[in-house]
Structure 1
Amino acid sequence: MKQHLKVRGINIVYDDYGSGETIVFIHGQPFNRSMWDQQVAVFKNGYRLIVPDLRGYGESDMPSGMTLLDEVALDIIHLLEALQIRKATFVGLSMGGQVLFELYRLAPHLCHALVLADTDAKAESVQSYQARLQLSQDLLAKGMQFYTDQHLHQFLGKATMAGKSAVVAHLRDMMVNTNPLGASLVQRGRAERRDHTGLLPDIHCPVLIVVGEEDGFTPVEVAKGMQARIKNAQLVVIKDASHMPNMEQPEIFNHHLELFLQGIQ
């Protein structure tokens, strides 16, 4: 059920489904909470699901300045406090996974388990830092339609692009309808993100790492590198998927998520 709550000066819109152990789903960029629809449909019957639109995305309010990832993590922490949720399993994809590193740094006591999908713990390089700043400017100057036309194919695998028109349409709709200001502010903030590789050995809750086999943004080798640094982390590589395996191969993604959840009960 759709809800909203003012958190740290921002009206956060979120879905709250089901009952039981809590799972919090954190979307990537430039998307919104609907990217988790295929997970919500399955897991709302056995768990309580909290699925927010992050600040500047979807139906949530626009921030007044640069969106740092620790600010987004604090939004989630305060939202859960307001909902009197003291522990949860967190599932984050891409930027959502980077938010989870900040969340764990700030509030490890909240984390029953982490699912890190198609993400990377490293900070930006000198080159990628400049690229983020340029992208932040381009999103405002050229708009989301231009960005979507140029980059949509990079988020999805070949089989998805060729044979899953509904997935392509859903992704396109999310991207085109993202507010360019919100996306620009996040890109500026992501340029400044911390390097969390040093945090990885200190993550002491169960961790599942998921990556699409064709992901060019955060390749399989990046996922393997994180697995090597996080004690007892599990790794799943999903075939015929790129950066959005939860949408491209939802049955496989959900199967491995359910196995993970059952194993940490």
Structure 2
Amino acid sequence: MSTFQSDDAVIAYDDHGTGDVLLLIHGHPFNRSMWRPQVAVLSAGWRVVTSDLRGYGESTVIPGRTTLDVLAADQARLLDHLGVDRAVIVGLSMGGQIAMDFYRQFPQRTRALVFADTFAEGETPEGKVRRNSIADRLQREGMATYADEELPKMVSQSTIAKRPDVAAHVLDMMRRSPAEGAAAALRGRAERPDYVELLGQVDVPALVVVGRDDTYTPVAVAESLHERLRESTLVVVEDTGHMPNLERPDAFNDALGAFLRQVSDRK
């Protein structure tokens, strides 16, 4: 693990491999360890960078509210710290929305985009109330009960039954997330902008990936995202929920690897 200072937070990160840069952004309420199956395979041909978002993992916990633009700016500062001009930006769930905001702020630094199990719409009034209520709950109760409740929504029942090691990893990440940091991100996500119009302006290649059994971002949501992008590929990973990169890493890595080869060929 390495660290660097991003404004008022110390960000923990890992940097594996050499070559063109692939920046992987985790979702809520996880940490950079969710990308281990991708790092293990893709670092053979790419320089793969993962970090813990502020408020998560081994990075600084900033109480209050952490908005997506701040999280995206941290990623740009990480690239600055590493001396990297452009990267392929990959995000899952909240990480996908951070990737959208990264493109909004830094389009010239975005070589390609990968959106996994995410959506572009802004928050609804009801959603704002719900996210802020969950944030209050996490601060009162901590992460344990919330993590237990969320596990069947994060991974499919098939994964829980057939790959208990994956389910245990997902549960452990959620339980270990600092409640204060997770609450701050939830409050910030409740105020997120609508990225739908931005999608139509994206002028780099994009890959949209979704788990067939994802209840948070159903296939229809991924199809809508795919249709709004000018140049994108849609991959549906069978027998998975919200985290296909962990539930079926071979299928996810195959889809991502094929996309990255196309990106490399465009040099």
Q: Taking every aligned residue pair, what percent have the same amino acid on both sides?
A: 42
Provide the secondary structure at the position in 1 that maps to 2:197.
coil
User: Counterpart in 2 of 1:258?
Assistant: 257
Is residue 77 from structure 1 mapped to residue 76 from structure 2 by the alignment? Answer: yes
1:161-205 CA-partner distances (Å, limit 9, x unpaired): 111010011001101110000000000000000000010110000
For 1:264 and 1:5, the matched residues in 2 are separated by 29
Query: Match of 1:162?
Result: 161
Match in the other structure for 1:174: 173
Superposition pairs of residues 235-246 of structure 1, within 5 angstroms: 235-246=234-245
* Counterparts of 2:195 and 2:245, CA distance in 1: 24
SS at 1:132 equivalent: helix
Residues 219-256 of structure 1 show CA distances to partners (whole Å, capped at 9, x for unaligned) of 11111001111012110000000100000000000001
Map 1:1-265 to 2 at 5 A: 2-265=1-264
Helix, strand or coil at the partner of 2:173 = helix
Q: Give the Cα separation in 1 of the matches to 2:256 and 2:148.
A: 31
Deviations 1:80-137 (A, max 9, x none): 1121100100110000000011100000011100000000000111111111111110
8 A Cα contact 2:18 2:46, kept in partner: yes
Mapped partners of 1:40, 1:57: distance in 2: 19
Counterpart CA distance in 2 for 1:126 and 1:63 is 25
Distance 1:23 1:131 in 2: 33
Once superposed, what is the RMSD of the aligned Cα atoms?
0.7
Helix, strand or coil: the match of 1:198? helix
Gaps of 5+ in 2: none
Letter in 2 for 1:103: F
SS at match of 2:187: helix
Alignment-mate amino acid for residue 95 of structure 1 = M
Q: 1:67-88, CA deviations, whole angstroms, 9 ceiling, x for partnerless residues?
A: 0010000111111112110010
Q: How many residues align?
A: 264
| Pairwise CA distance, 1:65 | 3.0
In structure 2, distance between residues paired with 1:158 and 1:82: 41
* Counterpart secondary structure, 2:210: strand
Provide TM-score, normalisation by structure 1: 0.98
Q: Give the residue type in structure 2 aligned to 1:148.
A: A
Aligned residue type for 1:198: E
Aligned residue for 1:210, secondary structure, equals: strand
Measure the CA separation in 2 of the matches of 1:76 and 1:134.
28
Distance change >3 Å, CA 127–CA 64, structure 1 → 2: closer
Question: Could you tell me the TM-score, scaled by structure 2's length?
Answer: 0.98
After TM superposition, give the deviation of residue 64 of structure 1 in Å: 4.3
Structure 1 CA distance for aligned equivalents of residues 240 and 45 of structure 2: 26
**Distance in 2 (alpha carbons) for counterparts of 1:190 and 1:32:** 17
Please give the alpha-carbon distance, in whole angstroms, between the structure 1 residues aligned to 2:128 and 2:29.
18
Hey, what's the Cα distance between the residues in 2 that align with 1:145 and 1:116?
A: 28
Indicate conservation of the 8 Å contact 2:37/2:249, yes or no: yes
